Structure 1
Amino acid sequence: MSDYSISAIGHIQSPYKQKFAIPRQPRLVPEAKAKLIFAPEFNREEFIRGIDEFTHIWLLFRFHGTADKGFSAMVRPPRLGGNERKGVFATRATFRPNAIGMSAVKLEGIEYKNGQLSLLLAGIDLLDGTPIIDIKPYLPYSDAMQDASAGFADTRPETQMSVEFTPEVTYFIEQQTQHPDLLNFISNVLKQDPRPAYKKQKDGEQSYGMTLYDYNIRWQVNGEHNVVTSIEKS
């Protein structure tokens, strides 16, 4: 088997600062905005000329947060509650031989600021700092296969999770102006129920924390109800 060397063309500047709470697929949280910051070698308009004619793009990336942990032939997909094993090539698990992933995301614009070229993206599901190794335009007539089926992941994951914010948290979010969709963003992240599968089987109140953008957020889960109890600058 031949070895190949692949260099990143850029990296993602994402609101997700830790693996916990990242949606398990792209576009499940539309409010998740990000930037693709091009590396110096590719920081030229020629590389993306015409890309603004497309509404969505494919990102090929490296799972840099787990690449050093190696790979497994069998994994436990969260969609199956972590109770059933599948072959890694039958899943989108992170523990892959080459640690390569892909996401179809919305392209919202192009930014050129202080000499830095960036793509503005939405519906992202990538950890902050993720290396991007390629970009391809999304082609609806070819990429969206209407007669396709997807086995154990055939339907969009849905939960019955509800989300409530304490008055203090709501006031804090309403006063900040940097992220106008912050309340909806937090709400939709929690509606995806980011807890590990084994935690979902436990009864009683559970407390969690996550970092989105530069905010530390804490919430409590009781059954299928979330209460966001605190938010503060990290």
Structure 2
Amino acid sequence: MLCGACAAFALQQKLRRIRRELDKAVAQRDSEHSGRLAMQRELRAVMASKLAQDDALFYAPIGTISSCFKRCVGTPRQGHLAPRTRAVLQLKRSAISPDSLDGLNKFSHVWVFFVFHLNNNQRWTRGLTGGGGTGDDAAALRKVAGTFPAKVTPPFLKRKVGLFATRSPHRPNNIGLSLCRIDRVDMAGLAIHLRGIDLVHGTPVLDIKPFVPAYDAVTPAHVAPWVESSLQHNRAVLWEPGAQEQVTALAAALHLYKDEPQEAIAAIAEALEVDIRSAFMTKKAAGQKGGGSIKGSSSSGILLFDTLAVHWATQGGDFNSVSVSRVELAEGADAEDDDVSEEALQEDA
């Protein structure tokens, strides 16, 4: 009798375990099914938003930028901060005639209207058109879209201000405006060689217009105090022994600076003089991230410049100087490696 009772109890326990596993499997199946349905609703809503053209405008790029800067992090906030930096605007031969460039070489500077193509703020920009779609589709889109962040933190200011009071690249419409110096115009090649750039490699260009000081330079003019103070924050760039020699040794492998190592060295220094760290790196070095202060800790990174990987480091959160430890070829480095978090969208300005 005792053995029979033990066997019955063991069987009941086994049945309960099987039932729990079955219930778990059913719940998981239902959850996955629900998740698939939600994803399908969101996808339909997004597609409806993209197809809705009633209150949206569409433009095709006229060309693409080939830049010495391969990633967002490391690209100067403004091109005039690094006047030796270089880029080439390659126009689309299928859409642009060489005659369009006739006379442009008579100007020293050009306005470049472009797209911040590496921004990942699509869930906010979708909200500008009202979302598109109806019923469940519209409700799904409203969950992933929203009001664009109203405030951001400009460089060197420890508080947030209104987005439209900044030059932040993270905007409701990913359109940028950059003033570049014209190095030369290649009509036959449909290319404009530029200097003093703040454009990342692969940037789509919407339009260009010549800079006319009588129209574009306004005097008197004033700017916000935080802009004035940010212009004074240049860092000392120190080259460790052998680093400049590495640039010289790799001069033949450069693209925009081919066989011009001294120009490349000068341009790299100009880029590093500006605080090229991301918002996350800046806060981490200043002890604003995580538990407790880590002020005095080092920041380090790699600046992808032309075909080079420039290894830099600094000591302390004040970032008064930066040193270049070594330079090597950047094999397989690509701008799409950037990881711009939603937090960075609200902090980098």
Superposition TM-score, scaled by structure 2 size: 0.62
Question: Percent of aligned positions with the same letter in both sequences?
Answer: 27
Deviation track 1:77-121 (CA, whole Å, cap 9, x = no partner) reads: 33243x322222222112212110100110111125xx6310000
Cα distance in 1 for residues equivalent to 2:182 and 2:234: 30
Bigger Rg, which one: 2
Match status 1:198 vs 2:283: yes
Q: 8 Å contact 1:92–1:101 — kept in the other structure?
A: no
Asked if 1:108 is matched to 2:161, the reply is no
Which residue does the alignment assign to 1:26?
79
Higher relative CO (Cα under 8 Å, sequence separation at least 6) belongs to 1
Among candidates 197, 209, 225, match of residue 302 of structure 2 = 209
Aligned to 1:78: 154
CA distance in 1, matches of 2:285, 2:218: 33
The structure in which a higher percent of residues are strand is 1
Tell me which stretches of 4 or more aligned residues in structure 1 moved more than 3 Å: 67-71
Give, in whole Å, the separation in 2 of the partners of 1:198 and 1:173. 31
Mapping of residues 128-143 of structure 1, within 5 Å: 128-143=201-216
1:66 aligns with 2:140: no
CA separation in 2, counterparts of 1:67 and 1:54? 35
Aligned-pair CA distance for 1:221? 0.3
Q: Distance in 2 between matches of 1:31 and 1:74?
A: 34
For each residue in 1:135-189, what CA deviation from the matched residue of structure 2 results, as whole angstroms up to 9, or x when unmatched?
0110101111121111132466122521111222121123343243111111111
Distance 1:133 1:226, change over 3 A: same
AA aligned to 1:77 is T
**Runs of 5+ in structure 2 lacking a partner?**
1-53, 126-147, 252-257, 287-294, 331-349
> Are 2:114 and 2:176, in contact at CA under 8 Å, matched by a contact in 1?
yes
Q: Is 1:119 equivalent to 2:192 in the alignment? A: yes
| 2:85 aligned with 1:48 | no
**Paired residue for 1:188, among 270, 276, 279?**
270
Cα separation, 1, equivalents of 2:101 and 2:265? 33
Q: Aligned partners of 2:285 and 2:151: how far apart in 1?
A: 19
Number of residue pairs matched by the alignment: 231
**C-alpha deviations, 1:45-91, integer Å up to 9, x for none?**
2112111111001000110010544453423233243x322222222
Query: Aligned-residue CA RMSD in angstroms?
Result: 2.0
